[in-house]
Structure 1
């Protein structure tokens, strides 16, 4: 499903950050866009920065189920700083999986923004999970009942001839052999 990424630029609150960029919304089914201005209130501007395709995978239904059960189900937008100027962020990816978003957060190179999931999109993800999710049955591993400590299957290292040789230095053993 194509999702439009809406980025908000607001004035910074410190002298070191001129602007604060955040992902403020996603637009399900949006068309192509390249930093089209949507709304302006004073110095705060919202842009339809990009449209990315969100793909849901059957192997990730556990992650989607986890996100659907969250207090505020969200979509994660992965952004990367591309420099200065009017459009300093590049939208790389959009995902409904909190686990995939965490993988990107671990590198520290990308910016991960959490955007509340629109109701129609929530229904679409829930329907996907309902259709493809298969609950994995937990199987506890059991130890074998066989006791391996009751019998000795050998005396030890065949290179050690006597108990005195255990702590002997290799040089001393060489002298004995000559």
Structure 2
């Protein structure tokens, strides 16, 4: 939950996908996310670059949102060895463009949630220096470390009174620890 309504930022990110020839006879093409374009305009599979059979496309432009409630996740990511953004893709058919970009996030926790379903493809792309600075500025402005407070037990003794009804088969307190053989003899 966002406590501060100002703790929100968004930016359009262009998603660049690379199609390269497959290395086996079972996979004609290998698709990977190769870059993000901060501040990019709208696009729908626009070809950016071609080298032989390898082609890079500006597949789509998605809005990346930063929320104040997720600053711990962003902090975790910008402290990583290679700070990255996560592009979530979904397989849709086998045509010329079989992948559809669903969303993009700077939160490794959100990316993990998508990975748990097993239905989406998660691609990790390194942040550009300017984009890294933008996320780091957001974290610096809105992240507040939560202090861990250990719960203390109260001093109330809960073992002094019997507040529940016991087993109806036990007639008296002395029968609680009696052996089953003794119980049978008493009933005869």
**Category of TM-score, reference length = shorter chain:** 0.7 to 0.9
- 1:162 corresponds to 2:178: no
Task: Provide the secondary structure at the position in 1 that maps to 2:66.
Answer: coil
Specify whether residues 26 and 157 from structure 1 end up closer, same or farther in structure 2 by C-alpha distance, changes over 3 A only: same
1:19 aligned residue:
29
1:62 aligned residue:
72
Q: In 2, distance between residues paired with 1:121 and 1:107?
A: 28
Specify whether residues 18 and 142 from structure 1 end up closer, same or farther in structure 2 by C-alpha distance, changes over 3 A only: same
Specify whether residues 158 and 5 from structure 1 end up closer, same or farther in structure 2 by C-alpha distance, changes over 3 A only: closer
Q: In 2, distance between residues paired with 1:67 and 1:121?
A: 13
2:93 aligned residue:
83
CA shift for structure 1 position 160: 4.4
Task: Provide the secondary structure at the position in 1 that maps to 2:20.
Answer: strand
Specify whether residues 57 and 160 from structure 1 end up closer, same or farther in structure 2 by C-alpha distance, changes over 3 A only: same
Name structure 2 gaps, 5 residues minimum. 1-10, 181-186
1:2 aligned residue:
12
What is the RMSD of the two structures over their aligned residues, measured on CA atoms? 2.2
- 1:33 corresponds to 2:43: yes
1:150-178 deviation per Cα after TM superposition (whole angstroms, max 9, x unaligned): x243585384461569999xxxxxxx9xx
CA shift for structure 1 position 85: 1.4
Specify whether residues 161 and 26 from structure 1 end up closer, same or farther in structure 2 by C-alpha distance, changes over 3 A only: closer
- 1:141 corresponds to 2:151: yes
Higher normalized strand content (fraction of residues) = 2
- TM-score scaled by length of structure 1: 0.87
Task: Provide the secondary structure at the position in 2 that maps to 1:120.
Answer: helix
